[in-house]
Chain A
């Protein structure tokens, strides 16, 4: 059976095209069939049988537990899903890889570990590396023999990543790196680090650094509020010697490596945020069926059912935008990918969509898991039940891969720039309440950050609503989910609009449908 095909170039939307035109159809999660579905099922199986049962032990960082899980994952092909076949990867699409990752992400600590080693540590190398670099490093990463890390952040440069102060000075056939990289996921276990540093303190560049190079030291683990099973530590570089052939791409062009990897990282983080939400809704459903108050299971109560329905709606809406975006990314790579310039173009094309997916999904994750915890009452507030861990773990999703504030600054301003450069049409699709508001708001792009953030919200809501509407055409429960979503999103879109324009808008009447139908499906494990 063929794997789901990337959309042909002719039908593919252009970046930011959603704003002015609603496409005929989009790729939806239901389009993962045959082998794709089998692969997703394999990931789900692995998560449930190998990862979830040891979640507590992972949180205690039991010796070699996480590395052995990663090795197992590697044997099953999970560490190189979308990496080139020539270097041990499976050469599958980014969209399918993201869906597989979603199901590998039922536990968030495992999620970030496998996500970083299979994702942002590798893609820079795949897109920008020379054949020699790829041949030397990719097979060890794709097989799970080595873990990889991505080292951009520093103590004094987080959101303002390009202001990094780690420097690289060329001495003969080596670069000498000095500086501190902060918050490096996988640091404790990784053998491969993609490190960003400035040559002569000026030219931002990317380097491949092996753990065993002289001058690399890994500091103690950070004491985190969540993701306790993952490794996060500082990487200290003191006169670290890196052979010149380990410069990735060109001196002064490291930002292209780092930022393009981040574009894809944001896309993947979206699906990685839905995994923990999925396991949380299941926990909440099971608990609500078991817990009795006033003589009946709490799952009978309207306000509990409303929470279950909201969680399901958030998962569904997030998926609708994520996998639409992934199919477009695959299409772009199919058309342009291969040569470095083409890879950059493909990675850049949907950067706004990637950011919207990131912000929407990570906030859906937080909102949904908060509601899941509420279903547990006081028991949710204890560490005796797994939901407290999910709650703590979810918090960081809104912080890394670009904080949601940084992404909000980006979405509105980049879309406006694409329009002003003639790369996207500024005429609104105008075919829903949200789309109309977005169209009107864009007539004058706000200059201040508060307005810009609200504009980004509106655009994100438009993309979500449009994706949801197209997916809902399949009918059945999709219709109910769309109804719930519109009831949720319309008032939020109005609020965002009012924040920009300071003008009252009247809301369309809510559909009021769906709560019971969706809650029943959640309780019976019949979600799409």
Chain B
């Protein structure tokens, strides 16, 4: 029988993304996104993960929350926000290498093997690439149980109970620790960061370290372009006219 493990340490990966509400445009040469003048934020799904971890900690102060981000030095901003929300310490895996889900999963797996968290709580996807796969890849690499799209997370004795909203109804899973959970939008509403929290976060440790693996991306962005402009619609005067118009276009 497996030894019952207590929930002591939660690892929360945080991705820095472009403000999801900003109007983005691709660079003229199609090599990527033009980010001049845009704001950056914590990926909203990751922010929900931080919030959930902080709520678990509020019920059990012995829990340690470690926020981690992989990317350039500027990711420190998002880690600082995570610390201000209530994470205990932060790790920045500093790199300017191109990252895809494969690389992220590899780095996080290496980190998890070192830190031995009891749970990894992360966004189900990032609002910039919308891949929805880093969590699943990571769970596979670690050979951990996983629950994706969590709408509710509860602690039990040596387990975590996760409710997922599916098309056919609420599905509740019990996962032994260590486990990985990815968050859905309905899980919670992240708190406002309080100014005293920001000041307090100044004294929390933020460790910068290099990458631990040499995993290479398995995908590469070939081209980024704006979606084709939609054709303007037109108004029809009656149902009959609509019928004819739809028929003309072969829609009926």
Contact = CB atoms under 8 A, between A and B. Distances in A.
Interface of A: 1, 34-35, 37-39, 41-42, 45-46, 49-50, 75-78, 81, 90, 92, 100, 295, 476-477, 521, 523-528
B239 interface: no
Given A39-B198, A76-B193, A90-B195, 20 more contacts: A1-B76, A35-B80, A37-B77, A38-B77, A38-B80, A38-B84, A41-B81, A42-B192, A46-B192, A75-B194, A76-B192, A77-B196, A90-B196, A90-B199, A295-B232, A524-B22, A524-B23, A526-B22, A526-B37, A528-B37
Interface string B68-97: 000000001100110010000000000000
B80 A34 contact: yes
Interface of B: 19, 21-23, 25, 36-38, 76-77, 80-81, 84, 192-196, 198-199, 201-202, 232
A295 B38 CA distance: 30
Contacts of B201: 35
B195 A77 contact: yes
A1 B202 contact: yes
A310 B38 CA distance: 21
Given A34-B80, A38-B80, A524-B23, A78 B195 contact: yes
A39 B36 contact: no
Given A37-B77, A38-B77, A476-B36, A525 B195 contact: no
- Ordered nearest first, which 5 A-B pairs have the shortest CB separation? A77-B195, A526-B37, A76-B194, A524-B23, A42-B193
B33 to A, nearest CB: 12
B153 to A, nearest CB: 23
Contact of B202 (A35, A42, A76, A528): A35
Residue among A39, A78, A100 with most chain B CB within 10 A = A39
B240 to A, nearest CB: 25
Contacts of A476: 36-37
11 contacts: A1-B202, A34-B80, A35-B80, A35-B201, A38-B193, A38-B198, A39-B198, A49-B192, A77-B194, A92-B195, A524-B25
A246 B84 CA distance: 38
A53 B86 CA distance: 27
A45 B37 contact: no
A95 B23 CA distance: 30
Contacts of A42: 192-195, 198
Nearest to B193: A42
Contact of A38 (B21, B23, B25, B81): B81
A525 B22 contact: yes
A477 B36 CA distance: 10
Nearest to B38: A526
Contact of B195 (A50, A76, A526, A527): A76
A1 B201 CA distance: 9
A285 to B, nearest CB: 10
B37 A521 contact: yes
Contacts of B77: 34, 37-38
A463 B38 CA distance: 29
A439 B105 CA distance: 65
B192 A45 contact: yes
Residue among B22, B23, B37, B198 with most chain A CB within 10 A = B198
Nearest to B81: A38
A488 B111 CA distance: 56
